Amino acid sequence: MKIKPLFVILISIVFVVSFAHAANEPEDSLILYMSFDTIDGKSTIDHSKYENHGEMMGNPKHVAGKFGKALKFNGVSEFVEIPHHESLTVDQDVTVMAWIHTERHTGPDEAQWQGILAKGNNPRSYSLWTEKNSKCLHFSVGPPQGGGSVCKGEVKLNEWQHVVAQVNDGTHRYWINGQKVGEIVNKPNPPGLEDISPVVIGTAGGGNIRYFLGMIDEVRIWNRALSEEEINKQMEKGHFEIFAVDPKLKLATIWGNLKAQQR
């Protein structure tokens, strides 16, 4: 009788598919994840559970990135806009990160700041920039005056750099390529629901003087402060590594075993 092995394998299929689905679910605190691997017309896909999909403004190029695909921005008019949603607001801690490949530290016409990503300008939930004078990162949260800080490292040009900024109970922290490059205390908290602005990638608040020139990949935002260990793990993972358990692959393996036993 082959009924018993068949029954066991069918139960295994149900278990594995259920487990794989659970393992593929992004965590609640990941509020935005743009891998840029998948573009649907002018839409960019958010892989977080909140599905805060974006729209490309202008015509950024879909190019080979650090992991899979990235977007390349012309530095004068192109960006991605994600409509405001309550899930994108933060009122205490936040961590933002991306892989960037920038051709400059400044905005257009030698402006002091070049926007990587941002939500809001006055007030600001989170705004990450490269900065002209320091050649490093500038992170701003809360009011435009007094809410910003600058890191102590250097963002290198024309090569992929993993950049991270966070605010944790009023302390700003920065990492470049997994190395901590700044900690600044006594900073304001994010504004929470007061900020109803969209999220933008490839620019920041302030009009036409802060567009990004270069490529951006793997944008991720959490509404909590990630540990350094978590940051380093995230740095090494693209979309397919983060959601590595594929139910279809598991099913194919089990079904192959089932057919082998029936021969």
Per-residue model confidence as pLDDT tens digits over 215-247: 999 999 999 999 999 999 999 988 766 655 444
Question: What pLDDT sits at residue 26?
Answer: 74
Nearest-5° Cα angle at 240, 161 to 9: 160
Per-residue model confidence as pLDDT tens digits over 58-99: 999 999 999 999 999 999 999 999 999 999 999 999 999 999
Q: Label residues 196-235 b or e (16+ Cβ within 10 Å = b).
A: ebbbbbbbbbbeebbbbbbbbbbbbbbbbbbeeeebbebb
- DSSP H or E run through 24: helix 3-24
Higher per-residue pLDDT: 187 or 6: 187
CA 142 to chain centroid, in Å, comes to 20
Q: Are 242 and 233 in contact (CB under 8 A)?
A: no
Judging by beta carbons within 10 Å of its beta carbon (0-12, 13-18, 19+), is residue 258 exposed, middle or buried? middle
Higher per-residue pLDDT: 44 or 263: 44
- DSSP H or E run through 233: helix 228-235
Q: Are 72 and 214 in contact (CB under 8 A)?
A: yes
Per-residue model confidence as pLDDT tens digits over 140-193: 999 877 789 999 999 999 999 999 999 999 999 999 999 999 999 999 999 999
Per-residue model confidence as pLDDT tens digits over 9-59: 444 444 433 434 444 567 999 999 999 998 999 999 999 999 999 999 999
Per-residue model confidence as pLDDT tens digits over 99-108: 999 999 999 9
- DSSP H or E run through 22: helix 3-24
